[in-house]
Amino acid sequence: MKEVTLKIPDKKFKFFMELIKHLGFEVAEELDIPEEHKNVVRERIKKSYENPDRLLEWDEVKDNFKFD
């Protein structure tokens, strides 16, 4: 199954959603990420810069990931 992200003008959003539902397409609800989770990620980012010598360049590590 393919997934598509669209940007819909605010004034046309209600109409668009009614059309999508009428056509029977699956609609994924927008995720609300709790502020607590956002803070955990922000703290990890902040800590990652405390030891810049431990940071690696993406080009050096990306080939270590396996995408299947």
Reported as a single tens digit per residue, the pLDDT across 10-40 is: 999 999 989 998 999 988 777 788 999 999 9
Q: Which two tokens stand for residue 19?
A: 């059309």
Q: Which two tokens stand for residue 6?
A: 């669209």
Q: What span, in angstroms and rounded, lies between the C-alpha atoms of 29 and 26?
A: 10
Of 6, 1, 2, 33, give the one whose Cα is nearest residue 17.
Answer: 6
Residues present in the chain in total: 68
- What is the pLDDT, as a whole number, of residue 40? 97
Reported as a single tens digit per residue, the pLDDT across 40-49 is: 999 999 988 8
